[in-house]
């Protein structure tokens, strides 16, 4: 699976997905948004992202990292489609 980041672009209507990062994760990865080729599910997306370095691998492997697909809390088995918005974030601290 070739990785083809197109930062800041809208993936909808293409064979791509948008990946967002929030909170401490955004700072640790120094990234707020990526556009990547569509992959089958969240697990496959994590494998692609882990290739970016140790810090990416560690954060994505952490039990405390949450993932939302199209704004709904999801998990590794959640399947992905072209145009989906996937967000990774640390435990939430609102309220």
Partner 1 sequence: MLDTIEVQNEDFDMSALYNALRHNNTSNGAIVTFTGLVRDFNQGHNVGELFLEHYPAMTKISLTNIVAQARQRWTLGRISVIHRIGRLTQGDQIVFVGVTSAHRKDAFDGAQFIMDFLKAEAPFWKRETTEQGPRWVEANSDDSKALTKWER
Footprint on this chain of partner 1 (rule: CB under 8 A): 20, 22-24, 64, 68, 71-73, 85, 87, 89-95
Beta carbons of 29 and 87 less than 8 angstroms apart = no
- Find the shortest distance in angstroms from Cβ 6 to partner 1: 19
Nearest-angstrom CA–CA distance, 86 and 72: 9
Q: Token pair of 19, please? A: 């990946």
- Find the shortest distance in angstroms from Cβ 39 to partner 1: 21
Shorter beta-carbon distance to partner 1: residue 30 or 71: 71
Shorter beta-carbon distance to partner 1: residue 1 or 81: 81
Which contiguous run of DSSP H or E holds residue 57? helix 54-61
Shorter beta-carbon distance to partner 1: residue 1 or 73: 73
Nearest-CA neighbor of 76 among 40, 32, 22? 40
């Amino acid at each position: 699976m070739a990785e083809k980041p197109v930062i800041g672009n809208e993936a909808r209507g293409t064979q791509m997905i948008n990946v967002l990062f929030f909170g401490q994760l955004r700072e640790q990865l120094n990234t707020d948004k990526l556009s990547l080729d569509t992959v089958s599910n969240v697990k496959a997306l994590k494998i692609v992202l882990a290739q970016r370095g140790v810090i990416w691998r560690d954060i994505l492997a952490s039990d405390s990292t949450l993932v939302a697909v199209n704004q709904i809390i999801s998990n590794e088995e959640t399947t992905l489609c072209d145009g989906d918005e996937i967000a990774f974030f640390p435990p939430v601290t609102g309220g």
